[in-house]
Structure 1
Amino acid sequence: MTSVKEQEAVRKLTIFLQEWDSAHKVARSHILDNFIKSNDGKTEPELELEFSQGASLFLARLTAWLRMTYMYSTCLNKLLKSIGIFLSAASGRRYLIEFLEIGGVLILLEILGLRHLKEEDKRQSVKLLQLVANAGRKYKELICESYGVRSLAEFLATSSSAEAQEDVQVLMGSLGSGNPKYQNQVYKGLIAVLPCASPRAQQLALQALRVMQDTVGEAPSVLVEPVLGALCSPHLEVQYEATQLLKALMAREVRPALLKGLVALLTPPRKKAFTFCDETAKDPTALCLREPMLVYSQQAAAAKVIGVLAKESAEVAEELIQLKAVHGLMVAVGNLDHVASQRHASSSLEYFVHTFPFVEEYVKKALGHALFQHFMDSPETWYTKMDPVHAEELASKIADIARDTRQTLE
């Protein structure tokens, strides 16, 4: 027979559940507020004590209401937080299983793709998915099998919340670790984020890719274009993370393709010196400089990272020379329209000149005696002494040297 105390506890639970069942939206919102305030951080035994060994009955009601209302944002944030109390409860694995049995993972992932929902609601969804992933490998696999990587990558790329994006990065990192069956899928999902319009998403994706690199091993060739594109971002934090990833990739088979792409960025095509935008149609004298400025930024970023990579490895430096990186750096030095291109190219060029004697001869021949002496005396500022006449002469000499080299080889 049950004791009077146990009977009273069961009676209170029954009243509570009946109150929930008969309550409307506002009343349920108050119930959730009280539940979150009173039970956050409790363990499974503590929750069972609170609900007279019937905590799962309340969880079942929460998940049922979630299934019916998640598309309409009915107390969604509070509802997800309440479910999170169960999923995060120590020794509460059975709560997790009960949540998964009702299709909880699919619901959480679908929430991420609903544009009309608030960012904070989606962030709570990501937090619950992290709790699922933390439960072990088979739960990580369940998320991936539910097309979770694609949903998370899309949310990372489009979210307007920096906090939510950071939570997604943590979750993607978790899915990419201790999950050998799907780690390549996670890696490619992060690559897919790189061309997006969000600098923060690009930065976080690059960080996650670098962390995963040792685990993944060889990088796919599809990585080359997105990483070089990220390197050319006007945002310095994105450039920095792209550079760090490139350094990690120098030990991989994809290195030749990356170096070739970097050198190509030093000599942008001349076909589109200027492009016209909407303002030009109104005022023919107004040139739109967006495209050439972007090209110059790419040139500067490439010149900078070439120097970084060359200084870290003599083998890489020699490969860059074979790919005519010195030629490209000279072209960038002659770019009077963009000081950053000149500065970074000059800095990288200084390393090659001081390290490889035959490069010194090439640069001396291209610059001429006066400019070369300025270069040797003050490599940090010599390019400021260049004028249009010097730049034109430099371009002509570079072309002559390149032509002589081809004829010699032929």
Structure 2
Amino acid sequence: MSTQEGQANIGKVLSFLREWDRGDMRVRNRIASSFVTQNTGKTFYELELEFAQVASLFLARLTTWMRLTYMFGTFLGLQLKAIGIFLSASSHDQYLMEFLEDGGVLTLLDILSQSQSREDDKAEALRLLLTVSNAGRKYKEIVCESHGVKVIADCLALSNRDETKEVASVLLESLSQGNPKYQYQVYKCLIAVMTCSSPKSQQLVLHTLRIVQLKLKTAHHSIVEPLLSALRSLHLEVQDEAIKLILHLKCCDVKSALLTGLVALLRPGKEEMQQHQISKEAELIEMTGSLTAFVQQAAAAKTIRLLAEEDQELSHELLSLGVVQHLLHAMGNREHADAQIQASLALEHFVMSSPAVEDHVERVMGVSLFAAFKNKAETVYTKMDETEAEMLSNQVNMPHVLNGNVLDG
């Protein structure tokens, strides 16, 4: 570029900035919209060429405009997109540092915290924070030091739109990677929001938690209770993520607590099974509560089968916990066919892996029912009469079976 062309370009930029400074909201909206249309996807060097090496002056104006007006939300989406062009400009982090120095991260986090912020704007703010996080460890630490992990986790748990939740989950995953100082904080925050009410949020939390857990050598004990509770979900995608996480945790220090908890879920407590006696005015809620207990029973049986099939030592440990007794009890649950099916499939594994278990189960079931079980375990519940189901569901203090030996229970 010649000196004369350079001077002309500088003059053009100064005129552009002057129009911005003197313009009202309508003028700034027009300028910012034009900037987004013409500059999306440009690199740092292209932006510098376009703005005669002073593009930072326009970024500072955009950041200030956003910081002063984001509470009103009028132009927030446009402001975020315009700033995003600078932050995503490749090959350089100058714009990123300038944005952070102007309090950009705190502003983005405050946008996420405001109840009046629109979901579109929250999603865009999360994308900008993701750009910051992906820039490297020092940027991740800045987000975390600004108390960003809790804000983002709350956004994941409470947002009304799937898009916002999905970006929040990706951002939390990013903050957990290459960030040893705050990795555990991300982990604990995810555990804290596991019990959120939205099935989509719960699915994403469990998925992200599993990715984070893969990087950790140990598991925190507080993960056990909400993880087992997730098996109550009526949404299969939530159950699936919970089961995948449990299968990973079989190698962690919470293994024993999880196994004990899973076996206990095969026999729902009386308070769960008799909810209909509590209040006639809450019949629908109580029916749902009973259903979730049965769903949890079925999911626990499925998880037990998968664990036992993957690891012979886990299979032996489950036997020592009286899993056969509890699976037989679940098979007698005529209230929920899936619980019967999953319990039968799980029991089939233990029967096939141990002659002693096979002999014991045959004695309990009787020759006819056991023959149907051996023929096709998943359909044995259809061959079971009321007396047989009652007999199985009332099994108490049956012997535990371990390593092919029948032990006194």
What interval of TM-score do these two structures reach, taking the shorter chain for normalisation? over 0.9
In 1: Cα distance, 2:277 partner to 2:323 partner: 33
Whichever residue aligns with residue 365 of structure 1, its letter is: R
Instruction: Tell me the alpha carbon deviations over residues 37-80 of structure 1, each in whole angstroms, 9 at most, x when there is no partner.
Output: 11111111211111122211111110111110111102101101
Which secondary structure does the structure 2 equivalent of 1:178 belong to?
coil
Instruction: Tell me the alpha carbon deviations over residues 178-214 of structure 1, each in whole angstroms, 9 at most, x when there is no partner.
Output: 1111111111122122110121222222222222223
Match of 1:146 in 2: 146
Query: Displacement of 1:277 after TM fit?
Result: 10
Match of 2:266 in 1: 266
CA contact (8 A) 1:275 1:287 kept: no
In 2: Cα distance, 1:222 partner to 1:35 partner: 49
Match of 1:23 in 2: 23
Query: Displacement of 1:9 after TM fit?
Result: 2.2
CA contact (8 A) 1:25 1:74 kept: no
Where does 1:63-78 land on structure 2 (aligned, <5 Å)?
A: 63-78=63-78
Where does 1:281-292 land on structure 2 (aligned, <5 Å)?
A: 281=281, 288-292=286-290
Whichever residue aligns with residue 63 of structure 1, its letter is: T
Query: Tell me, which stretches of 5 or more residues in structure 2 are unaligned?
Result: 401-406
In 2: Cα distance, 1:259 partner to 1:108 partner: 42
Match of 1:332 in 2: 330
Residue range with higher mean Cα deviation, 373-382 or 73-82: 373-382
Task: Give yes or no for the alignment of 1:215 onto 2:215.
Answer: yes
Match of 2:372 in 1: 374
The alpha-carbon distance between structure 1 residues 369 and 215, as it changes in their structure 2 partners (threshold 3 A), is same
Task: Give yes or no for the alignment of 1:242 onto 2:242.
Answer: yes
Whichever residue aligns with residue 112 of structure 1, its letter is: L
Question: What do you get for the CA RMSD once the two structures are aligned?
Answer: 2.3
Residue range with higher mean Cα deviation, 300-309 or 189-198: 189-198
Which secondary structure does the structure 2 equivalent of 1:41 belong to?
coil
Query: Displacement of 1:402 after TM fit?
Result: 5.3
Whichever residue aligns with residue 396 of structure 2, its letter is: A
Query: Tell me, which stretches of 5 or more residues in structure 1 are unaligned?
Result: none
Please report the TM-score for the alignment, with normalisation by the length of structure 1. 0.93
CA contact (8 A) 1:112 1:151 kept: yes
Q: Give me the identity figure in percent.
A: 47
In 1: Cα distance, 2:272 partner to 2:189 partner: 33
In 1: Cα distance, 2:293 partner to 2:214 partner: 32
Match of 2:305 in 1: 307
Match of 2:165 in 1: 165
Query: Displacement of 1:8 after TM fit?
Result: 2.5
Match of 1:392 in 2: 390
Query: Displacement of 1:287 after TM fit?
Result: 9.3
Match of 1:48 in 2: 48
Where does 1:128-207 land on structure 2 (aligned, <5 Å)?
A: 128-207=128-207
In 2: Cα distance, 1:247 partner to 1:43 partner: 44
The alpha-carbon distance between structure 1 residues 272 and 58, as it changes in their structure 2 partners (threshold 3 A), is closer
Match of 2:59 in 1: 59
Please report the TM-score for the alignment, with normalisation by the length of structure 2. 0.93
Match of 2:347 in 1: 349
Whichever residue aligns with residue 209 of structure 1, its letter is: L
Query: Displacement of 1:388 after TM fit?
Result: 2.1
The alpha-carbon distance between structure 1 residues 272 and 50, as it changes in their structure 2 partners (threshold 3 A), is closer
Query: Displacement of 1:25 after TM fit?
Result: 2.1
Residue range with higher mean Cα deviation, 103-112 or 225-234: 225-234
Match of 1:32 in 2: 32
In 1: Cα distance, 2:408 partner to 2:286 partner: 42
CA contact (8 A) 2:140 2:175 kept: yes
Instruction: Tell me the alpha carbon deviations over residues 247-273 of structure 1, each in whole angstroms, 9 at most, x when there is no partner.
Output: 111111110011011111110112343
CA contact (8 A) 2:331 2:393 kept: no
Task: Give yes or no for the alignment of 1:104 onto 2:104.
Answer: yes
Query: Displacement of 1:375 after TM fit?
Result: 1.2
Residue range with higher mean Cα deviation, 175-184 or 382-391: 382-391
